[in-house]
């Protein structure tokens, strides 16, 4: 848990552990949720947890724990929630709201201190580790009197705050609108807004239509940007490209910095990077190798965000090599690797050749490193903080691309001497001699690059 006593706002976590979830997985999930909430700028000051056989449809927790939660946030408690009378359905309801059941069969639902860590300052945010339905969210807000977010809501909010490039901002805006649309409700004030109706469309329907229109508008804008990017990428088509992919906080940007000498943002927080950056391997070699740093993955990434970030990850799709970066010092890195694999599959990058980089081994004990190597014999064990490891990784990249090269020969006539430098850009020139026909270049190049150079010379 992060430091308290700062002027950062406070949040309380709500953890519901279902019978099907093992303790160790549940704890890892909660630790990750805590880090997400820290990234959002809050200190986690309390946790209310409950083991349940299922998540209550009405308000997630049982009545006793709702009371405890409301006490922490200073809200009215379960009494503040309005429930429908049997048979009655409000027009903005997607789901009927149910009164919290007291769940007699569930343990730890006593409303006493079990499963509760007490708050040192009053939280202004409640974060739940389950996806909430619109009515669950409303019920919890009424009960606690403060803002409530579920895991997807937190992730979308982080993306919203961190997105820098125009495209990332537009993508996040769409994900956010898709997230809020079903959670919107008729304003309770009623009166004024009711007057706007009449044409058979409620204010809520109108608001939702506005959101759909806005999403369509954002999509068009993104399409424009993507066309420009495709052009820019086409210019890099002949370059040798490697993309860093992996779970958030694994150390992708640190590797990017070390490999390319660039100053991309590195931070011990989740989702420090949201935009793709492309830089040449440094010190530069010819032909150059381009490295791209990408957004990190996370468990249960909201589907809209996966879809949105597909375009950001196009960079990865077009790379000849992916480096799957994992934080070997994190006890849950194996499940993080699974998330990386399945997310890459989802965006259609599963066919791209890859190498596994087990990073942060400086924080792994010597004997555990041996175990890791036995389990992942192909992996590159390294630390982004160790210059010798970076040199080794750099050589592995160079060797990978060199192995794709085939031998070739070009004769560049004197009338086309400008092409010689072009050849040096895209091939490894082994010898350069001159006779009456022009420059004889003995070289190695990737087959596509060689064919292209050949056609330029003969044109
Ligand atoms: N000890 C140690 N720390 C590392 C290593 N590599 C990265 N870190 C630290 O791990 C944290 C996250 O590093 P980043 O490079 O920002 O990770 P990332 O994968 O780019 O993360 P996101 O952009 O948030 O997805 C930072 O505090 C780094 O200093 C390493 O090899 N050893
Ligand atoms: Mg990063």
332 C-alpha to ligand 1 centroid (Å): 16
* Phi, psi (degrees; rounded to nearest 5) at 20: -80, -10
Architecture in CATH of 10-158: 3-Layer(aba) Sandwich (3.40)
458 DSSP assignment: H
Per-residue model confidence (pLDDT) at position 25:
86
Q: Indicate which atom in ligand 1 lies nearest the CA of residue 359.
A: 31
- What the block records as the tokens of 360 is 């942060």
Per the listing, tokens 């957004």 go with 295
Does 267 sit in the ligand 1 pocket, CB within 6 Å? yes
Same fold, 10-158 and 238-402: yes
Q: Indicate which atom in ligand 1 lies nearest the CA of residue 384.
A: 31
The dihedral through the CA atoms of 376, 378, 382, 388 has a sign that is positive
Q: Indicate which atom in ligand 1 lies nearest the CA of residue 256.
A: 15
Does 309 sit in the ligand 1 pocket, CB within 6 Å? no
Give the pLDDT band (50/70/90) at residue 317: confident
Break the chain into its structural domains and give their ranges.
10-158, 163-187+196-231, 238-402, 405-458
Per-residue model confidence (pLDDT) at position 82:
55
Closest CA to 103 of 146, 65, 159: 65
- Which residues make beta-bridge pairs with 357? 325, 380
pLDDT digit string, tens, across residues 124-162: 999 999 888 888 888 999 999 999 999 989 998 888 888
pLDDT at 197 over 80: no
Known binding residues for GTP = 246-253, 271-275, 293-296, 359-362, 383-385
pLDDT at 336 over 90: yes
Alpha-carbon distance of 201 to 224, in angstroms, equals 33
Q: Indicate which atom in ligand 1 lies nearest the CA of residue 268.
A: 27
Select, from the ranges 144-158, 270-284, 288-302, 307-321, the one with the highest average predicted confidence (pLDDT).
Answer: 144-158
Per-residue model confidence (pLDDT) at position 235:
63
Select, from the ranges 188-197, 247-256, 283-292, 341-350, the one with the highest average predicted confidence (pLDDT).
Answer: 247-256
Does 39 sit in the ligand 1 pocket, CB within 6 Å? no
Q: What percent of the chain has pLDDT over 90?
A: 44
Name which of 28-32, 185-189, 219-223, 408-412 the model is least confident about. Answer: 185-189
* Sheet containing strand 438-445, strands side by side: 406-412, 438-445, 428-435
pLDDT at 360 over 90: yes
402 C-alpha to ligand 2 centroid (Å): 28
CATH number of 238-402: 3.40.50.300
Q: What is the mean pLDDT of the chain?
A: 83
Does 272 sit in the ligand 1 pocket, CB within 6 Å? yes
Question: Residue of the nearest CA to atom 4 in ligand 1?
Answer: 360
103 vs 307, which has greater pLDDT?
Answer: 307
Per-residue model confidence (pLDDT) at position 382:
98
- What the block records as the tokens of 336 is 């993080």
279 C-alpha to ligand 2 centroid (Å): 14
Per-residue model confidence (pLDDT) at position 244:
94
pLDDT at 98 over 60: no
3-state secondary structure 280-333: ECCCCCCCCEEEEECCCECCCCCHHHHHHHCCCCHHHHCCCEEEEEEECCCCCH
429 DSSP assignment: E
Whole-prediction pTM: 0.80
95 vs 31, which has greater pLDDT?
Answer: 31
Bond preceding residue 287 cis, omega within 30 of 0 = yes
**Strand-strand pairing, 43-52 and 10-18:** parallel
Give the pLDDT band (50/70/90) at residue 118: low
Closest CA to 380 of 398, 392, 367: 392
């Amino acid at each position: 848990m992060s430091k308290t006593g700062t002027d950062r706002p406070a949040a309380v976590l709500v953890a519901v552990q279902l019978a099907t979830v093992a303790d160790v997985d549940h704890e890892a999930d909660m630790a990750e949720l805590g880090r997400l909430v820290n990234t959002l700028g809050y200190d986690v000051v309390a946790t209310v947890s409950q083991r349940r056989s299922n998540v209550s449809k009405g308000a997630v927790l049982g009545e006793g724990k709702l009371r405890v939660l409301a006490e922490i946030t200073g809200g009215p408690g379960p009494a503040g929630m309005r429930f429908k009378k049997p048979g009655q359905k409000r027009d903005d309801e997607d789901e009927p709201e149910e009164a919290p059941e007291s769940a007699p069969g569930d343990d730890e639902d006593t409303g006493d201190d079990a499963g509760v860590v007490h708050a040192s300052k009053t939280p202004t945010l409640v974060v739940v580790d389950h996806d909430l339905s619109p009515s669950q969210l409303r019920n919890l807000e009424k009960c606690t009197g403060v803002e409530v977010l579920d895991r997807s809501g937190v992730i979308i909010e982080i993306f919203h705050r961190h997105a820098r490039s125009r495209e990332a901002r537009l993508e996040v805006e769409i994900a956010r609108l898709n997230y809020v649309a079903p959670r919107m409700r008729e304003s309770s004030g009623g009166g004024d807004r009711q007057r706007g109706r009449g044409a058979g469309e409620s204010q809520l329907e109108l608001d939702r239509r506005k959101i759909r229109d806005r999403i369509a508008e954002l999509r068009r804008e993104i399409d424009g940007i993507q066309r420009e990017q495709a052009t820019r990428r086409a210019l890099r088509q002949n370059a040798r490209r490697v993309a860093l992919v992996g779970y958030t906080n694994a150390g992708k940007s640190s590797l990017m910095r070390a490999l390319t000498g660039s100053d991309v943002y590195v931070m011990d927080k989740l989702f420090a990077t949201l935009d793709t950056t492309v830089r040449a391997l440094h010190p530069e070699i010819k032909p150059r190798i381009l490295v791209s740093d990408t957004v990190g993955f996370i468990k249960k990434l909201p589907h809209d965000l996966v879809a949105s970030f597909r375009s950001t990850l196009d960079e990865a799709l077009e790379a000849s090599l992916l480096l799957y970066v994992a934080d070997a010092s994190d006890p849950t890195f194996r499940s993080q690797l699974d998330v990386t694999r399945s997310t890459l599959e989802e965006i259609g990058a599963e066919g791209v050749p890859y190498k596994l980089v087990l990073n942060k081994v400086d924080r792994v004990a010597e004997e555990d490193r041996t175990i890791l190597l036995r389990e992942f014999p192909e992996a590159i064990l390294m630390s982004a903080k160790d210059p010798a490891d970076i040199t080794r990784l750099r050589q592995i990249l160079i060797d990978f691309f060199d192995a794709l090269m085939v031998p070739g020969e070009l004769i560049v006539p004197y009338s086309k001497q400008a092409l010689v430098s072009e050849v040096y850009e895209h091939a490894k020139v082994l010898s350069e001699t001159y006779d009456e026909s022009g420059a004889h270049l003995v070289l190695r190049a990737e087959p596509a690059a060689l064919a292209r150079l050949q056609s330029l010379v003969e044109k």
